[in-house]
Amino acid sequence: MNLKTRIIRMLANGSREVLSRLTQGGSSFPGKLALTLDPHILASLTKNYQIMVITGTNGKTMTTALCAQMARQKGYQIVTNASGSNMIQGIVGAFLAAEPLKAGEKGLAILEIDEGSLNKILQYFQPDVFIHTNLFEDQMDRYGSVQAVANLLEEAARRSPEAQVIANGDSPYLHMPDLENERLYFGFDYSTQSDAHFEPVSVNEPCPKCQHTLTYKYLSYGNLGDYLCPSCGLSRPSLDYRMMDIIELDADYAKVAFDEVEYELPMGGMYNVYNALAAYAFGRYLECTPEQIQAAFSGAPRISGRQEVVEYQGKEIHLNLIKNTVGMEQTLDLIGLTNEPMSIVFIINNQPADGEDIGWLQQVDFDRMASYPIKKIVTSGMCQQAITEELERSALSVPIQPMSVGDVVQWIQQTDETTIHIVASYTAMMAFRKVLTDQGIID
């Protein structure tokens, strides 16, 4: 690290210390400051690091946290952007906050990177590994189409042809047979288990190669499954790492078999089984033992706003971050695994970080909640009217009450409800957590 970078590092970290005293922390300002002083600082900061990049639509933050746990089990001292700040200022901030490498030392960085920022960031370093989680419709006003995002991921891999690609084989958009990169695929082995946890095959997904409608033998959710294009022959690749059985699955726990070895996960929901499978594939790439893999899963952190549980005056407040149709439906399915009476609060914003086009709400199947033991539904946020209208159009026969975010917190403080699920978009979740912090409900 040259002298200029050391000076910038000192200034940026000084600003972090000041901000942590004045605010709740989590600011991207140190990274922004460093980039203002040296727009190319990332090239200097990443020297002498092996770099693993996690990208895709959903599950990046949890997958990154689990992969970091795998690396720690192998004794690596790592740099990671655990908070999910996944654009260039967040990546720079993660390196600034890390302990500097000693002379001759080699570091390991495990980085979640936003799909749209990926190729801009890769101007400054070449990854050793890409992990591709999934690709769904998401912020279409920003990305244009799922295929456009797939093209960004493929372009990034082509820029680093020596990098290993570990991809979700169940996603038709992540099957990239023309890449020079070595590829490993993870996915579900449907032949070894019942279809109790899988959805009826009723999707209308175009083939990424020829646009003919794909056929699915099995479907997990969204566009993930065992697919085939009857026109051009594109099909799911051979899997290197397999989820062979879901033994138990509830809202906060799963027991699964990955390649015939059973693992326990301190998290629930089908989407987290996929996140864990991606991390398992990375653990196998690092040559982790089954014992190390289980230890990594057991040490998985609760990530802010992502299946986070806050206990307050005998109440359990479950925080669930959502961003698109698939994420919303998977979160609702997760909530449905809870059999006790509950209230659900939807807080939806459409700021740029959320995606300004909220048309995706119209595609959500809210009818899946019709059998849930819901006592009350509350709506809030910038898009309160839109989410309220979609819920009113559904088959639900539950009272729906619009509220401001401040009133939501006051209601939580006063209600005798004991189980409350918060379902919020990104900026809404950040604003809601701030109010909870200001009110002393969370630290």
Binding residues for Zn(2+): 207, 210, 229, 232
Q: What share of the chain is helix, strand, coil (3-state, %, to 5)?
A: 40, 25, 40
The DSSP annotation for 272-322 comes to HHHHHHHHHHHHHHTT--HHHHHHHHHTPPPBTTEEEEEEETTEEEEEEE-
Instruction: Please give the single-letter amino acid code of residue 360.
Output: W
Q: Is 82 helix (H, G, I), strand (E, B) or coil?
A: coil
Asked if residues 88 and 42 have their Cβ atoms less than 8 Å apart, the reply is yes
Angle, vertex CA 281, rays to CA 280 and CA 286, nearest 5: 90
Asked if residues 378 and 423 have their Cβ atoms less than 8 Å apart, the reply is no
What are the start-end ranges of the E strands in 325-411?
Answer: 342-347, 374-380, 400-402
Q: Is 252 among the catalytic positions?
A: no
CB atoms within 10 A of CB 252: 15
Beta carbons within 8 Å of 265's beta carbon, 6+ residues apart: 253, 254, 255, 256, 272, 273, 276, 297, 300
Give how far Cα 245 sits from Cα of 195, 258, 349, 392, Å: 10, 7, 37, 37
Beta carbons within 8 Å of 8's beta carbon, 6+ residues apart: 33, 34, 37, 38, 41
What sign does the CA torsion over 383, 385, 386, 392 have? positive
Two structure tokens written together for 107 = 């570091």
Asked if residues 346 and 307 have their Cβ atoms less than 8 Å apart, the reply is no
Which candidate in 141, 250, 357, 367 is catalytic?
Answer: 357
Cα–Cα distance, 88 to 109 (Å, whole number): 14
Cα–Cα distance, 425 to 390 (Å, whole number): 16
> What is the Rg, in whole angstroms, of the alpha carbon atoms belonging to the chain?
22
Cα–Cα distance, 221 to 334 (Å, whole number): 13
Give me the active site residues, please: 357
